[in-house]
Protein backbone atom coordinates (compact mmCIF):
# COMPACT_ATOMS: atom_id res chain seq x y z
CA UNK A 1 0.00 0.00 0.00
CA UNK A 2 1.56 3.29 -1.10
CA UNK A 3 1.36 6.37 1.12
CA UNK A 4 -0.92 9.00 -0.47
CA UNK A 5 1.40 11.78 0.79
CA UNK A 6 4.88 10.60 -0.21
CA UNK A 7 4.24 7.46 -2.33
CA UNK A 8 6.41 5.33 -0.03
CA UNK A 9 5.50 1.64 -0.27
CA UNK A 10 6.04 0.79 3.38
CA UNK A 11 3.50 1.39 6.14
CA UNK A 12 2.35 -0.19 9.37
CA UNK A 13 -1.16 -0.91 10.61
CA UNK A 14 -1.99 1.25 13.64
CA UNK A 15 -5.61 0.16 14.16
CA UNK A 16 -8.02 -2.40 12.65
CA UNK A 17 -11.79 -2.43 13.06
CA UNK A 18 -14.59 -4.36 11.39
CA UNK A 19 -16.57 -2.34 8.87
CA UNK A 20 -20.30 -2.28 8.27
CA UNK A 21 -21.89 -5.69 8.59
CA UNK A 22 -18.55 -7.38 9.16
CA UNK A 23 -17.98 -7.71 5.42
CA UNK A 24 -14.96 -5.42 5.44
CA UNK A 25 -12.11 -4.30 7.68
CA UNK A 26 -11.10 -0.68 8.22
CA UNK A 27 -7.37 -0.24 8.76
CA UNK A 28 -5.59 2.91 9.96
CA UNK A 29 -2.06 2.95 8.60
CA UNK A 30 1.00 5.05 9.22
CA UNK A 31 3.68 5.63 6.60
CA UNK A 32 7.14 4.46 7.74
CA UNK A 33 8.84 7.33 5.86
CA UNK A 34 6.74 10.46 6.57
CA UNK A 35 4.44 9.28 9.43
CA UNK A 36 1.35 10.35 7.47
CA UNK A 37 -1.76 8.45 8.64
CA UNK A 38 -4.33 7.16 6.18
CA UNK A 39 -7.23 4.70 6.09
CA UNK A 40 -7.61 1.62 3.90
CA UNK A 41 -10.55 -0.73 3.52
CA UNK A 42 -10.17 -4.45 2.99
CA UNK A 43 -13.04 -6.54 1.61
CA UNK A 44 -13.45 -9.86 -0.10
CA UNK A 45 -13.58 -9.62 -3.85
CA UNK A 46 -16.40 -11.76 -5.09
CA UNK A 47 -15.91 -13.10 -8.57
CA UNK A 48 -19.14 -13.75 -10.40
CA UNK A 49 -18.25 -16.33 -13.01
CA UNK A 50 -19.64 -16.38 -16.52
CA UNK A 51 -21.70 -19.38 -17.51
CA UNK A 52 -20.68 -20.83 -20.87
CA UNK A 53 -23.82 -22.07 -22.61
CA UNK A 54 -24.00 -24.96 -25.09
CA UNK A 55 -24.00 -22.52 -28.01
CA UNK A 56 -20.84 -20.81 -26.61
CA UNK A 57 -22.76 -17.73 -25.40
CA UNK A 58 -21.65 -16.39 -22.05
CA UNK A 59 -23.82 -14.82 -19.38
CA UNK A 60 -23.26 -13.95 -15.71
CA UNK A 61 -24.00 -16.70 -13.18
CA UNK A 62 -27.47 -16.07 -11.74
CA UNK A 63 -28.75 -18.09 -8.76
CA UNK A 64 -32.27 -16.81 -9.53
CA UNK A 65 -32.19 -18.67 -12.83
CA UNK A 66 -31.38 -21.89 -10.96
CA UNK A 67 -34.23 -21.17 -8.54
CA UNK A 68 -36.71 -20.66 -11.41
CA UNK A 69 -35.62 -23.91 -13.09
CA UNK A 70 -35.98 -25.84 -9.84
CA UNK A 71 -39.41 -24.36 -9.16
CA UNK A 72 -40.57 -25.56 -12.58
CA UNK A 73 -39.12 -29.04 -12.07
CA UNK A 74 -40.60 -29.30 -8.57
CA UNK A 75 -44.03 -27.86 -9.40
CA UNK A 76 -46.84 -29.85 -7.71
CA UNK A 77 -44.29 -32.11 -6.01
CA UNK A 78 -43.69 -32.54 -2.27
CA UNK A 79 -40.50 -30.44 -2.34
CA UNK A 80 -40.44 -27.57 0.14
CA UNK A 81 -39.32 -24.05 -0.67
CA UNK A 82 -36.60 -24.50 1.96
CA UNK A 83 -35.27 -27.56 0.14
CA UNK A 84 -35.12 -25.60 -3.11
CA UNK A 85 -33.31 -22.72 -1.37
CA UNK A 86 -30.78 -25.14 0.13
CA UNK A 87 -30.10 -26.58 -3.34
CA UNK A 88 -29.69 -23.08 -4.81
CA UNK A 89 -27.35 -22.06 -1.98
CA UNK A 90 -25.22 -25.23 -2.18
CA UNK A 91 -24.97 -24.97 -5.97
CA UNK A 92 -24.03 -21.28 -5.89
CA UNK A 93 -21.44 -22.00 -3.19
CA UNK A 94 -19.93 -24.81 -5.24
CA UNK A 95 -19.75 -22.64 -8.36
CA UNK A 96 -18.15 -19.73 -6.49
CA UNK A 97 -15.75 -22.05 -4.63
CA UNK A 98 -14.31 -23.15 -7.97
CA UNK A 99 -12.82 -19.67 -8.30
CA UNK A 100 -13.05 -19.90 -12.08
CA UNK A 101 -13.95 -17.00 -14.34
CA UNK A 102 -16.05 -19.31 -16.54
CA UNK A 103 -18.15 -22.36 -15.68
CA UNK A 104 -19.97 -24.54 -18.18
CA UNK A 105 -23.73 -24.83 -17.98
CA UNK A 106 -23.27 -28.61 -18.22
CA UNK A 107 -21.32 -28.71 -14.95
CA UNK A 108 -23.96 -26.61 -13.17
CA UNK A 109 -26.71 -28.84 -14.58
CA UNK A 110 -24.85 -31.93 -13.37
CA UNK A 111 -24.68 -30.54 -9.84
CA UNK A 112 -28.41 -29.76 -9.93
CA UNK A 113 -29.20 -33.27 -11.18
CA UNK A 114 -27.26 -34.78 -8.27
CA UNK A 115 -29.07 -32.54 -5.80
CA UNK A 116 -32.53 -33.27 -7.24
CA UNK A 117 -31.93 -37.00 -7.40
CA UNK A 118 -31.53 -37.03 -3.63
CA UNK A 119 -34.65 -34.90 -3.05
CA UNK A 120 -37.37 -36.14 -5.43
CA UNK A 121 -37.14 -38.66 -8.29
CA UNK A 122 -39.96 -37.08 -10.33
CA UNK A 123 -38.43 -33.60 -10.10
CA UNK A 124 -35.12 -35.15 -11.07
CA UNK A 125 -36.67 -36.76 -14.16
CA UNK A 126 -38.40 -33.51 -15.15
CA UNK A 127 -35.19 -31.52 -14.86
CA UNK A 128 -33.15 -34.21 -16.64
CA UNK A 129 -35.58 -34.31 -19.56
CA UNK A 130 -34.88 -30.63 -20.28
CA UNK A 131 -31.20 -30.62 -19.29
CA UNK A 132 -30.30 -33.68 -21.34
CA UNK A 133 -32.61 -32.71 -24.23
CA UNK A 134 -34.32 -36.05 -24.68
CA UNK A 135 -35.55 -36.60 -28.22
CA UNK A 136 -37.37 -39.91 -27.74
CA UNK A 137 -39.32 -41.75 -25.09
CA UNK A 138 -36.64 -44.44 -25.11
CA UNK A 139 -34.10 -41.93 -23.81
CA UNK A 140 -36.49 -40.92 -21.04
CA UNK A 141 -37.24 -44.57 -20.21
CA UNK A 142 -33.50 -45.24 -19.96
CA UNK A 143 -33.20 -42.41 -17.40
CA UNK A 144 -36.04 -43.92 -15.34
CA UNK A 145 -34.42 -47.36 -15.43
CA UNK A 146 -31.09 -45.90 -14.26
CA UNK A 147 -32.69 -44.01 -11.35
- The residue extents of the domains of the chain are 11-43, 50-146
| pLDDT tens by residue, 69-102 | 999 999 999 999 999 999 998 998 888 888 889 9
* % residues pLDDT > 70 (the chain): 97
For 116, list phi and psi in degrees, rounded to 5.
Answer: -70, -35
Please give the DSSP secondary-structure letter assigned to residue 123: H
Strands 37-43 and 24-31: antiparallel
What's the mean per-residue pLDDT of the chain? 89
Counting Cα atoms < 13 Å in the Cβ hemisphere of 122 gives: 8
Contacts 24+ apart (CB under 8 A), 58-61: 58/102, 61/92, 61/95, 61/103, 61/108
pLDDT band for position 48 (cuts 50, 70, 90)? confident
Amino acid sequence: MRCPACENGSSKVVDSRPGLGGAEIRRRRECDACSHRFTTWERIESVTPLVVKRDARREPFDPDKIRRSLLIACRKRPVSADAIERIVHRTASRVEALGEREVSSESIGGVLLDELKAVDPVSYARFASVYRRFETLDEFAQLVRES
